[in-house]
Amino acid sequence: MVRDTEKMQDAYTEDSTIQLIVDQVEELVVTLIEEIRERPGVAAAILAAVVGVIIGSALAARTRRTPAVPERVARKTQGAGQVAQLAGIALSLLENPIVRAMILKQLKGRFSR
């Protein structure tokens, strides 16, 4: 019998809580309607803000197809690595006096014309 009483009290508590929530929501709706009638400009501004938030969230949530970070890094640094290799080879070639003389001869011929 004690358990039946507890179940009935729980049911009554749940019903009263639900009724309280419904009453509060109803009061909120009535208050909002009164405010909209008194100040339609403020209501329009709030509506515009809500629409802006929804649209902004939808745009921000879109997924963009971007390559993976290692793939982008490899593609961008590949050219720099090749330039560094070529610069190393060019400097080692410039150490050779025969190569240096040929390059100077070519440059003189190019600019003397």
Note whether 10 and 58 are same-domain residues.
Answer: yes
Note whether 48 and 78 are same-domain residues.
Answer: no
Note whether 1 and 54 are same-domain residues.
Answer: yes
Instruction: Report the alpha-carbon distance of residue 35 to residue 14 in Å, rounded.
Output: 32
Note whether 4 and 53 are same-domain residues.
Answer: yes
Question: Dihedral (C-alpha) 9, 15, 16, 21: value to the nearest 10 degrees?
Answer: 150
**pLDDT at 67 (0 to 100):** 63
Note whether 107 and 52 are same-domain residues.
Answer: no
Note whether 42 and 78 are same-domain residues.
Answer: no
- Provide the domain limits for residue 108: 67-113
User: What pTM was estimated for this model as a whole?
Assistant: 0.34
Instruction: Report the alpha-carbon distance of residue 28 to residue 22 in Å, rounded.
Output: 10
Note whether 58 and 74 are same-domain residues.
Answer: no
**Is 35:43 a contact under the CB 8 Å cutoff?**
yes
Note whether 2 and 55 are same-domain residues.
Answer: yes
Tens of pLDDT along the chain (113 residues)?
555 566 656 666 777 888 999 999 999 999 888 888 888 888 888 889 999 999 999 888 887 766 666 777 777 777 777 888 888 898 888 899 998 899 889 888 888 86
Note whether 41 and 15 are same-domain residues.
Answer: yes
Note whether 85 and 113 are same-domain residues.
Answer: yes
Note whether 37 and 80 are same-domain residues.
Answer: no
- Cβ-proximal residues to 72 (8 Å cutoff; 6+ apart), any chain: 66
Q: Looking at the 3D structure of the chain, how many domains does it have?
A: 2
Instruction: Report the alpha-carbon distance of residue 28 to residue 69 in Å, rounded.
Output: 49
The conformational region for residue 67 under phi > 0 = left, psi -120 to 50 = alpha, else beta, is: beta
